[in-house]
Amino acid sequence: MGKIDNHGNQFPGHVALIAAPSNGSSTDALLRKFWEIEEIPKPVPSHPDDVIAERIFKNNHYRLGTGRYVVPLLIRNDASPLGDSKSLALQRLNGTERRFNKQPELKEKYSEFLKEYESLGHMGLVNSENFGLARYYIPHHAVFREDSATTKVRVVFDGSQRSSSGIALNEILYSGPKLQKDVFDVIARFRIHQKVFTCDISKMYRQILLRPDERKYQHIFWRHDGELKEFELNTVTYGLSSSPFLALRVIKQLTEDEGHKYPAAATALCRDMFVDDL
Protein backbone atom coordinates (compact mmCIF):
# COMPACT_ATOMS: atom_id res chain seq x y z
CA MET A 1 0.00 0.00 0.00
CA GLY A 2 1.22 3.56 -0.63
CA LYS A 3 2.43 5.61 -3.59
CA ILE A 4 4.93 4.50 -6.25
CA ASP A 5 6.81 6.89 -8.55
CA ASN A 6 7.06 6.65 -12.35
CA HIS A 7 10.07 4.33 -12.11
CA GLY A 8 8.25 1.80 -9.92
CA ASN A 9 10.03 2.84 -6.71
CA GLN A 10 8.06 2.97 -3.51
CA PHE A 11 8.06 6.19 -1.52
CA PRO A 12 9.67 5.87 1.92
CA GLY A 13 7.34 4.73 4.69
CA HIS A 14 4.99 2.89 2.36
CA VAL A 15 4.49 -0.76 1.44
CA ALA A 16 3.89 -1.67 -2.18
CA LEU A 17 1.10 -4.01 -3.19
CA ILE A 18 2.27 -7.26 -4.81
CA ALA A 19 0.65 -7.65 -8.18
CA ALA A 20 -1.77 -10.59 -8.28
CA PRO A 21 -2.31 -12.71 -11.36
CA SER A 22 -5.06 -11.43 -13.60
CA ASN A 23 -6.52 -14.91 -13.88
CA GLY A 24 -9.16 -15.27 -11.15
CA SER A 25 -8.74 -19.03 -10.83
CA SER A 26 -4.97 -18.65 -10.25
CA THR A 27 -5.66 -16.15 -7.48
CA ASP A 28 -8.12 -18.54 -5.90
CA ALA A 29 -5.57 -21.34 -6.05
CA LEU A 30 -2.87 -19.17 -4.40
CA LEU A 31 -5.21 -18.08 -1.62
CA ARG A 32 -6.41 -21.64 -1.07
CA LYS A 33 -2.80 -22.87 -0.83
CA PHE A 34 -1.96 -20.09 1.66
CA TRP A 35 -4.87 -20.96 3.93
CA GLU A 36 -4.12 -24.70 3.74
CA ILE A 37 -0.52 -24.08 4.85
CA GLU A 38 -1.64 -21.88 7.74
CA GLU A 39 -4.51 -24.11 8.82
CA ILE A 40 -4.12 -26.22 11.95
CA PRO A 41 -3.99 -29.91 10.92
CA LYS A 42 -7.25 -31.74 11.50
CA PRO A 43 -7.12 -35.01 13.45
CA VAL A 44 -7.24 -38.07 11.20
CA PRO A 45 -10.28 -40.23 11.95
CA SER A 46 -9.45 -43.58 13.53
CA HIS A 47 -9.65 -46.63 11.30
CA PRO A 48 -12.71 -48.77 12.20
CA ASP A 49 -10.41 -51.74 13.00
CA ASP A 50 -8.46 -49.58 15.44
CA VAL A 51 -11.66 -48.53 17.18
CA ILE A 52 -12.64 -52.19 17.60
CA ALA A 53 -9.16 -53.12 18.89
CA GLU A 54 -9.33 -50.36 21.50
CA ARG A 55 -12.81 -51.46 22.56
CA ILE A 56 -11.72 -55.11 22.94
CA PHE A 57 -8.80 -54.00 25.11
CA LYS A 58 -10.93 -51.73 27.30
CA ASN A 59 -13.65 -54.31 27.82
CA ASN A 60 -11.42 -57.33 28.43
CA HIS A 61 -8.19 -56.31 30.19
CA TYR A 62 -7.85 -56.57 33.95
CA ARG A 63 -5.25 -56.54 36.74
CA LEU A 64 -4.24 -59.20 39.21
CA GLY A 65 -3.78 -58.47 42.89
CA THR A 66 -0.04 -58.21 42.21
CA GLY A 67 -0.72 -55.30 39.84
CA ARG A 68 0.21 -57.28 36.73
CA TYR A 69 -2.00 -56.67 33.68
CA VAL A 70 -3.85 -59.41 31.80
CA VAL A 71 -4.88 -58.59 28.22
CA PRO A 72 -6.95 -60.11 25.38
CA LEU A 73 -5.42 -61.40 22.16
CA LEU A 74 -7.52 -59.08 19.90
CA ILE A 75 -9.01 -61.80 17.71
CA ARG A 76 -11.06 -60.38 14.82
CA ASN A 77 -14.82 -60.77 14.91
CA ASP A 78 -14.86 -61.81 11.25
CA ALA A 79 -11.84 -64.11 11.53
CA SER A 80 -11.49 -66.90 8.98
CA PRO A 81 -11.03 -70.35 10.50
CA LEU A 82 -7.49 -71.51 11.14
CA GLY A 83 -6.48 -74.88 9.73
CA ASP A 84 -3.97 -77.40 11.01
CA SER A 85 -0.74 -75.79 12.22
CA LYS A 86 0.64 -78.69 14.23
CA SER A 87 2.43 -80.46 11.37
CA LEU A 88 3.94 -77.20 10.08
CA ALA A 89 5.23 -76.28 13.55
CA LEU A 90 6.82 -79.73 13.89
CA GLN A 91 8.47 -79.37 10.46
CA ARG A 92 9.96 -76.03 11.49
CA LEU A 93 11.23 -77.53 14.75
CA ASN A 94 12.88 -80.39 12.86
CA GLY A 95 14.61 -77.85 10.63
CA THR A 96 15.85 -75.93 13.67
CA GLU A 97 17.18 -79.14 15.23
CA ARG A 98 19.12 -79.98 12.06
CA ARG A 99 20.71 -76.58 12.37
CA PHE A 100 21.58 -77.36 15.99
CA ASN A 101 23.57 -80.39 14.81
CA LYS A 102 25.84 -78.04 12.89
CA GLN A 103 25.85 -75.27 15.52
CA PRO A 104 25.95 -76.79 19.03
CA GLU A 105 26.60 -73.35 20.57
CA LEU A 106 23.33 -72.11 19.06
CA LYS A 107 21.50 -75.07 20.59
CA GLU A 108 22.94 -74.24 24.00
CA LYS A 109 21.89 -70.55 23.83
CA TYR A 110 18.46 -71.47 22.43
CA SER A 111 17.87 -73.97 25.22
CA GLU A 112 18.97 -71.47 27.87
CA PHE A 113 16.51 -68.92 26.51
CA LEU A 114 13.53 -71.30 26.63
CA LYS A 115 14.52 -72.68 30.04
CA GLU A 116 14.44 -69.14 31.41
CA TYR A 117 11.11 -68.61 29.65
CA GLU A 118 9.70 -71.58 31.53
CA SER A 119 11.36 -70.80 34.88
CA LEU A 120 9.88 -67.28 34.90
CA GLY A 121 6.40 -68.66 34.28
CA HIS A 122 6.22 -67.11 30.82
CA MET A 123 5.37 -70.51 29.36
CA GLY A 124 4.02 -73.70 30.93
CA LEU A 125 4.06 -77.39 30.08
CA VAL A 126 0.86 -78.77 28.55
CA ASN A 127 -0.30 -82.01 30.13
CA SER A 128 -0.51 -85.16 28.02
CA GLU A 129 -4.34 -85.10 27.98
CA ASN A 130 -4.34 -81.80 26.05
CA PHE A 131 -1.32 -82.58 23.85
CA GLY A 132 -2.03 -81.68 20.22
CA LEU A 133 -5.35 -79.95 20.91
CA ALA A 134 -4.29 -76.29 20.67
CA ARG A 135 -6.00 -73.90 18.27
CA TYR A 136 -2.68 -72.76 16.83
CA TYR A 137 0.95 -73.85 17.08
CA ILE A 138 3.52 -71.10 16.62
CA PRO A 139 6.81 -72.02 14.91
CA HIS A 140 9.90 -70.40 16.41
CA HIS A 141 13.43 -69.54 15.32
CA ALA A 142 16.54 -67.75 16.57
CA VAL A 143 17.45 -64.11 16.06
CA PHE A 144 21.04 -63.02 16.73
CA ARG A 145 21.67 -59.68 18.43
CA GLU A 146 25.41 -59.07 18.40
CA ASP A 147 24.97 -55.59 19.89
CA SER A 148 23.15 -56.93 22.95
CA ALA A 149 25.07 -56.78 26.22
CA THR A 150 22.95 -59.57 27.70
CA THR A 151 21.07 -61.95 25.39
CA LYS A 152 22.90 -62.65 22.13
CA VAL A 153 20.29 -65.14 20.94
CA ARG A 154 16.56 -64.51 21.24
CA VAL A 155 13.81 -66.93 20.28
CA VAL A 156 11.19 -65.27 18.09
CA PHE A 157 7.77 -66.76 17.41
CA ASP A 158 6.36 -66.71 13.88
CA GLY A 159 2.70 -65.79 13.96
CA SER A 160 2.75 -65.29 10.18
CA GLN A 161 3.16 -69.01 9.40
CA ARG A 162 0.04 -70.01 7.47
CA SER A 163 -1.99 -72.96 8.65
CA SER A 164 -3.35 -75.63 6.28
CA SER A 165 -6.36 -73.37 5.52
CA GLY A 166 -3.98 -70.71 4.18
CA ILE A 167 -4.70 -68.45 7.17
CA ALA A 168 -2.08 -67.42 9.73
CA LEU A 169 -2.69 -66.36 13.31
CA ASN A 170 -1.53 -62.81 12.53
CA GLU A 171 -4.21 -62.52 9.87
CA ILE A 172 -7.04 -63.03 12.36
CA LEU A 173 -5.73 -60.48 14.86
CA TYR A 174 -6.36 -56.74 15.06
CA SER A 175 -3.07 -54.85 15.06
CA GLY A 176 -4.51 -51.88 16.93
CA PRO A 177 -3.68 -48.18 16.42
CA LYS A 178 -0.09 -46.98 16.30
CA LEU A 179 0.90 -45.79 19.77
CA GLN A 180 4.66 -45.57 19.24
CA LYS A 181 6.04 -42.05 19.67
CA ASP A 182 8.13 -40.36 16.98
CA VAL A 183 11.76 -40.91 17.96
CA PHE A 184 12.69 -37.37 16.81
CA ASP A 185 10.19 -35.84 19.25
CA VAL A 186 11.45 -38.02 22.11
CA ILE A 187 15.09 -37.06 21.49
CA ALA A 188 14.22 -33.37 21.08
CA ARG A 189 12.51 -33.33 24.48
CA PHE A 190 15.41 -35.26 25.98
CA ARG A 191 17.70 -32.31 25.16
CA ILE A 192 15.77 -29.70 27.15
CA HIS A 193 16.63 -31.15 30.58
CA GLN A 194 19.68 -30.28 32.67
CA LYS A 195 19.96 -33.83 34.00
CA VAL A 196 18.81 -36.93 32.17
CA PHE A 197 18.87 -40.69 32.49
CA THR A 198 17.87 -43.60 30.29
CA CYS A 199 16.52 -47.03 31.10
CA ASP A 200 14.38 -49.71 29.52
CA ILE A 201 11.65 -52.11 30.55
CA SER A 202 13.13 -55.56 30.98
CA LYS A 203 11.24 -58.18 28.92
CA MET A 204 8.50 -55.66 28.19
CA TYR A 205 6.09 -57.97 26.36
CA ARG A 206 6.58 -60.78 28.83
CA GLN A 207 5.61 -58.61 31.80
CA ILE A 208 2.04 -58.74 30.47
CA LEU A 209 -0.08 -61.87 30.81
CA LEU A 210 -2.49 -63.09 28.15
CA ARG A 211 -6.02 -64.08 29.16
CA PRO A 212 -5.96 -67.81 30.04
CA ASP A 213 -8.82 -68.71 27.66
CA GLU A 214 -6.87 -67.36 24.66
CA ARG A 215 -3.52 -68.99 25.36
CA LYS A 216 -4.64 -71.98 23.28
CA TYR A 217 -3.57 -69.88 20.27
CA GLN A 218 -0.02 -69.67 21.62
CA HIS A 219 1.33 -73.22 21.80
CA ILE A 220 4.81 -74.33 20.76
CA PHE A 221 6.72 -77.60 20.46
CA TRP A 222 10.13 -78.01 22.08
CA ARG A 223 12.29 -81.02 22.81
CA HIS A 224 12.72 -81.00 26.57
CA ASP A 225 15.42 -83.37 27.89
CA GLY A 226 15.29 -85.27 24.60
CA GLU A 227 11.50 -85.70 24.64
CA LEU A 228 9.10 -83.77 22.42
CA LYS A 229 6.83 -81.65 24.61
CA GLU A 230 4.18 -79.00 24.14
CA PHE A 231 4.19 -75.65 25.92
CA GLU A 232 1.66 -72.83 26.24
CA LEU A 233 2.93 -69.25 26.11
CA ASN A 234 1.35 -67.27 28.95
CA THR A 235 2.35 -63.72 28.01
CA VAL A 236 2.22 -61.21 25.18
CA THR A 237 4.44 -62.79 22.53
CA TYR A 238 7.07 -61.51 20.13
CA GLY A 239 6.03 -62.02 16.51
CA LEU A 240 2.27 -61.51 16.84
CA SER A 241 0.72 -58.54 15.06
CA SER A 242 -1.28 -57.40 18.12
CA SER A 243 1.68 -57.43 20.54
CA PRO A 244 3.18 -53.95 19.89
CA PHE A 245 -0.19 -52.28 20.50
CA LEU A 246 -0.93 -54.38 23.59
CA ALA A 247 2.43 -53.59 25.19
CA LEU A 248 2.19 -49.83 24.65
CA ARG A 249 -1.50 -49.77 25.51
CA VAL A 250 -0.69 -51.31 28.90
CA ILE A 251 1.83 -48.51 29.52
CA LYS A 252 -0.90 -46.00 28.72
CA GLN A 253 -3.33 -47.85 31.00
CA LEU A 254 -0.76 -47.80 33.79
CA THR A 255 -0.56 -43.99 33.60
CA GLU A 256 -4.36 -43.80 33.70
CA ASP A 257 -4.59 -46.13 36.70
CA GLU A 258 -1.63 -44.87 38.75
CA GLY A 259 -0.73 -41.49 37.27
CA HIS A 260 -2.53 -39.52 39.96
CA LYS A 261 -0.03 -40.91 42.50
CA TYR A 262 3.06 -40.22 40.40
CA PRO A 263 2.32 -37.30 38.03
CA ALA A 264 5.93 -36.67 37.00
CA ALA A 265 6.49 -40.35 36.19
CA ALA A 266 3.19 -40.50 34.31
CA THR A 267 4.23 -37.53 32.15
CA ALA A 268 7.54 -39.21 31.33
CA LEU A 269 5.81 -42.46 30.39
CA CYS A 270 3.36 -40.62 28.14
CA ARG A 271 5.88 -38.38 26.38
CA ASP A 272 9.39 -39.75 26.70
CA MET A 273 9.18 -43.45 25.81
CA PHE A 274 10.20 -45.03 22.52
CA VAL A 275 8.85 -48.59 22.60
CA ASP A 276 10.52 -50.00 25.76
CA ASP A 277 13.16 -47.28 26.15
CA LEU A 278 12.57 -44.36 28.54
Q: Quote the CA–CA distance of 178 and 39 in Å, as a whole number.
A: 24
The backbone region for 68, taken as left when phi is positive above 0, alpha when psi lies in -120 to 50, beta otherwise, is: beta
Element (H, E) at 91: helix 86-102
At residue 175 the predicted structure's pLDDT band, cuts being 50, 70 and 90, is very high
Mean pLDDT, residues 204-231: 93
Tell whether the model's pLDDT for residue 90 goes beyond 80: yes
Query: Structural domain boundaries of the chain?
Result: 1-42, 50-271
Asked if pLDDT for residue 149 goes beyond 70, the answer is: no
For residue 235, what pLDDT band results from cuts at 50, 70 and 90? very high
pTM for the whole thing?
A: 0.79
What's the rounded Cα separation, in Å, for the pair 193 and 267? 14
Maximum CA extent, the chain: 101
Tell me the mean pLDDT in the region 88-99. Answer: 93
